[in-house]
Amino acid sequence: MEGRVGTAGPGSAGAADGDWAAVDPPRRVGGAPGSGGAPGSGAWPGWQPATAGSRVRRRQLITRTLVVIVLAGIGVSVGGVIGNHRGVAGGPSPTGSETEPTITTPATVVSGQPGKASQVSARLQSENALPGSAGWKLTDRADNHEIEGFASSTSISQGEPVSLYVSTAAPTFHVEVYRMGYYQGLGGRLLHTSQELAGTTQARPVLTPVTNMVEAPWQASLILATTSWPGGDYLLKLVASTGKQRYVPLTVRNDASTAAFVVINAVTTWQAYNIWGGYDLYEGQSRTGSDYGHRARIVSFDRPYTLGDGAGDFLGLEYPLVSLVESLGLDVTYVTDIDLQHQPNPLLGHRAAISLGHDEYYSLAMRQSLEQARDRGINLAFLGANAVFRHIRLVPSPLGADRRQIDYKSAREDPLRGKDDADVTVNWRDPPNRNPESLLIGDFYQCNPVRADMVVVDPSNWLFDGAAATAGLKLPGVVGSEYDRYDPTVSGPPNVEILTHSPLHCGGKADFADATYYSAPSGAGVFASGTTNWVGNMDARCQPAGCAGRVLGPVMANLLAAFGNGPAGRVHPSDPAESAVRSRPPVSTTVPTTGAAGAGADGGAGGGAGGADSGSAGATRTGGEQE
């Protein structure tokens, strides 16, 4: 059930093909909360996302990747795009922080084999036994604003209504609601199709000077009732009467859940890289193009996502894990990272929290929720790299709480400097924060972009049980495009165990990427993959035979089994061997060609590709912004 509400306000305009962006630049308005100190951007140069300096147009030229659903040995290709990030000319110096990574790894959505999984849910098993649908796939992408939209909330509790804000030049449109999971390998289930609604080209975006925040002051197009929607990750498919299609992502929470696993959708990172309207936290428009100096200091959720056909990074960097746990029928619930901002801490009451491929942007309260969970014996799995690297603040927008995301990336610019240094928005490791992510994760972010093989150095670790791994074993293409390393010279847990230690070159310098594990005093186990490509390489029956999933699939089976049973550090205390690892060069071998038990299904794609080759211009290295 849904209701149509409102119409576009005065000033709505657009080209006949829906590409209003090239016609109407954002309107300028006054200051925004948290503004101050950021350099002004001068006279408005005109918003032209189709110019050579704009990443919007470049994204359209990037070869689309495929999301591969694997079922009973048959690879089924489905349309999907990973968020393709790129380095920005004029961005931070090599001693500053990361540039935007290039992510080209195909997302492999896998099924799992029950084997070791003990924390299963009859509810989830029954849910995924319902008839699935491949209708969530886009067949005619809206790449030029033909239809697009956003939701009033990044997540809602079960039964809470949600408003959709949709702009289209098409005469009519409708919305299809898909819960994402496994569903016989089809990947989703259709829960609802709205009535056909009149299309409206909504008002042009508004640009706030100084902070360069862009918002879409649109009118709500419809309100969706969600009383019958089970908890989970959803894609709302916008379908214009012209055939053009676009996504709006939504997480439906079960706030009463005590499921063994809680999966965290990294929406703040999706938003940080969202160039919709010409500005994100890495670049913005100037008279001569687009550059780091004109980046936004505040980004808003009151606008559509440009990445992933409107779905952010969900399909490429998160959905493979969602499909895996749902195929196993594991006892799982879902939240966004923004939900970690609130109390009671939504991670408490669960046994393991799972952070996915790129979970970079955290507020003080969000980080404290992760730390509190670990300190109460809740296992943490970081299946990515560059996690908890940026410090942000969240403030309300006209649509609700926590809809504006502040990140100055410079203590000098942040108006809280000298007033509340604990909440200044720089990298967590940098002054005045001086709270590196390694204290929580064990790993320490290093560099991008890179592509390298992952090299096993501790095959005796319990995570490699049944994986046929040997010391020096190379897992093709797993490291990239961002990576972490264990660094004994920075603050962190004293008992980090290094599982893989992978040589590479990034920014013209030799380095290593590490997958790590440590046991916390509370008994919690903390695993970090050290690479954004991990989630796309979990298929234990991938092809060809030497692909990385033959090892990573069993590793995931072991990880889920141990983490779902309670504090893994009590059963598997970590045994640091850092110095021995660094004194032993890796042996050049390849992945075994025989299959291995664990998560996976026949026919999946193997061996993901990372970002650009090592040593690419724009690569960045460890360290903080120089004050």
DSSP string covering 32-56: -TT--SSPP--S-----TTSTT-HH
Per the domain annotation, does 564 fall within a domain?
Answer: yes
Determine the pLDDT at residue 114.
Answer: 57
Number of domains in the chain: 1
Per the domain annotation, does 344 fall within a domain?
Answer: yes
Show the domain range for 616. Answer: 62-121+259-273+313-389+427-627
Per the domain annotation, does 546 fall within a domain?
Answer: yes
pLDDT digits (tens, 9 = 90+) for 278-307: 999 999 999 999 999 999 999 999 999 999
Per the domain annotation, does 30 fall within a domain?
Answer: no
Q: How far is CA 195 from the centre of its chain?
A: 32
Q: Give the whole-angstrom CA distance, residue 193 versus residue 247.
A: 14
Return the closest-CA partner of residue 452 out of 220, 586, 609, 275. 609
Q: Give the whole-angstrom CA distance, residue 116 versus residue 147.
A: 44
Q: Give the whole-angstrom CA distance, residue 308 versus residue 306.
A: 7
Q: Which residues pair with 237 in a beta bridge?
A: 176, 247
Q: Give the whole-angstrom CA distance, residue 190 versus residue 178.
A: 5
515 within 8 A of 499, measured Cβ to Cβ: yes
Indicate whether 532 pLDDT > 70. Answer: yes
Per the domain annotation, does 285 fall within a domain?
Answer: no
Higher pLDDT, 256 or 541: 256
| Residue 57 pLDDT grade (very low, low, confident, very high; cuts 50, 70, 90) | very low
378 within 8 A of 406, measured Cβ to Cβ: no
Higher pLDDT, 418 or 116: 418
| Residue 13 pLDDT grade (very low, low, confident, very high; cuts 50, 70, 90) | very low
Q: Give the whole-angstrom CA distance, residue 149 versus residue 161.
A: 16
Q: Give the whole-angstrom CA distance, residue 316 versus residue 318.
A: 6
The residue type at 505: H
Interstrand relation of 284-286 and 542-543 (parallel, antiparallel or unpaired): unpaired
Tokens of 587: 């042996």
Alpha-carbon distance values, 418 to 297, 431, 432 (Å): 19, 11, 9
Tokens of 214: 């862009």
- Order of strands across the sheet with 213-215? 27-28, 206-208, 213-215
346 within 8 A of 265, measured Cβ to Cβ: no
Alpha-carbon distance values, 371 to 225, 261, 350, 424 (Å): 35, 17, 14, 19
Phi/psi at 372 (5° precision): -65, -40
Tokens of 622: 């460890």
pLDDT digits (tens, 9 = 90+) for 375-390: 999 999 999 999 999 9
Return the closest-CA partner of residue 240 out of 269, 199, 211, 207. 199
Per the domain annotation, does 169 fall within a domain?
Answer: no
Per the domain annotation, does 223 fall within a domain?
Answer: no
Determine the pLDDT at residue 98.
Answer: 52
pTM to 2 decimal places: 0.82
The SS3 call for residue 461 is: coil
Determine the pLDDT at residue 613.
Answer: 29
| Residue 53 pLDDT grade (very low, low, confident, very high; cuts 50, 70, 90) | very low
Indicate whether 501 pLDDT > 60. Answer: yes
Tokens of 371: 């730390």
Alpha-carbon distance values, 270 to 205, 247, 291, 449, 451 (Å): 19, 14, 19, 18, 22
Per the domain annotation, does 331 fall within a domain?
Answer: yes
Average pLDDT over residues 182-189: 94
